[in-house]
């Protein structure tokens, strides 16, 4: 009887430990600290072929991007996500040959925009000299959240400013009241890029 009880206890222990052993890759991703995520993020220009990314996974990244702060909570950033082979290929035609080469195997391409005349405005009036620059500012914050969440989930990104905004506007039916900002590739790195040097802190900050 004792042997039978011992066997059952061992089996139960194995079942408890099994989730921790299985899917260890996900466990490693979720165990990363914020500093780890920041340190491992790169602008990736070499993507692994054959990577599959689901709509649900992209939605998770965008949900995190929506947590970024915005002017008066206006939340003016919009995302247009190309996932089909046809749309992905079309986007890559409008980002220049260099960017197209850099993102050749990226399975997802995202156009980031913001609604004009809201962030940086109050009751329709420009709040200060920056104006719609606040929309771009908020868009950048959202994109920063997006790419860091992507890295936490094991994905990589490249934010691109070289793009044909008129062609992208037509491709996705982007309204005239939205400013096309960046195109973001999403995939998995095929190689580890070198980390570019950062300026010394004392070169960019003044304390008073």
CATH assignment of the domain containing 156: 3.40.109.10
The answer to whether residues 56 and 127 belong to one domain is yes
The answer to whether residues 126 and 89 belong to one domain is yes
Q: Single out the residue of 16, 43, 12 nearest to residue 143, CA to CA.
A: 43
Per-residue b or e along 96-112, where b marks 16 or more CB atoms closer than 10 Å to that residue's CB: eeebeebbeebbbbbbb
Residue 8 inside a domain? The answer is yes
Interval 47-66: pLDDT, tens: 999 999 999 999 999 999 99
Q: How confident is the model at residue 16 (pLDDT cuts 50, 70, 90)?
A: very low
- For residue 15, pLDDT beyond 50: no
Q: Single out the residue of 153, 121, 138, 122 nearest to residue 41, CA to CA.
A: 153
Residue 202 inside a domain? The answer is no
In the chain, the number of structural domains is 2
The answer to whether residues 108 and 9 belong to one domain is no
Collapsed DSSP state (helix, strand, coil) of residue 149: helix
Q: Provide the residue range defining the domain that includes 14.
A: 1-31
What is the share, in percent, of the chain residues with pLDDT greater than 90?
A: 85
Beta bridge partners of 183: 111, 160
Give the single-character DSSP code of 197: P
Interval 129-182: pLDDT, tens: 999 999 999 999 999 999 999 999 999 999 999 999 999 999 999 999 999 999
- For residue 101, pLDDT beyond 60: yes
Collapsed DSSP state (helix, strand, coil) of residue 181: strand
CA 30 to chain centre: 16
Residue 149: both structure tokens together:
């969440």
How far is 45 from 157, CA to CA, in rounded Å?
8
Collapsed DSSP state (helix, strand, coil) of residue 124: coil
Residue 206 inside a domain? The answer is no
pTM score: 0.85
């Amino acid at each position: 009887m004792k042997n039978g009880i011992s066997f059952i206890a061992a089996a139960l222990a194995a079942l408890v430990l099994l989730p921790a052993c299985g899917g260890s890759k996900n466990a490693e991703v979720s165990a990363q600290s914020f500093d780890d995520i920041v340190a491992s993020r790169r602008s990736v220009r070499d993507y692994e072929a054959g990577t599959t990314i689901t709509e649900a996974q992209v939605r998770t990244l965008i949900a995190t991007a929506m947590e970024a702060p915005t002017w008066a909570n206006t939340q003016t950033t919009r995302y247009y996500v190309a996932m089909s082979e046809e749309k992905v290929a079309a986007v890559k035609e409008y980002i220049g040959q260099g960017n197209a080469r850099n993102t050749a195997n990226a399975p997802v391409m995202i156009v980031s925009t913001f609604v004009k005349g809201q962030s940086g405005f109050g009751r329709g009036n420009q709040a200060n000299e920056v104006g719609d620059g606040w929309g771009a500012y908020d868009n950048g914050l959202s994109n920063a959240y997006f790419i860091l969440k992507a890295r936490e989930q094991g994905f990589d990104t490249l934010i691109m400013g070289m793009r044909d905004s008129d062609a992208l506007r037509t491709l996705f039916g982007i309204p005239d009241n939205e400013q096309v900002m960046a195109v973001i590739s999403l995939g998995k790195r095929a190689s580890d890029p070198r980390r570019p040097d950062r300026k010394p802190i004392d070169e960019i900050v003044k304390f008073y």
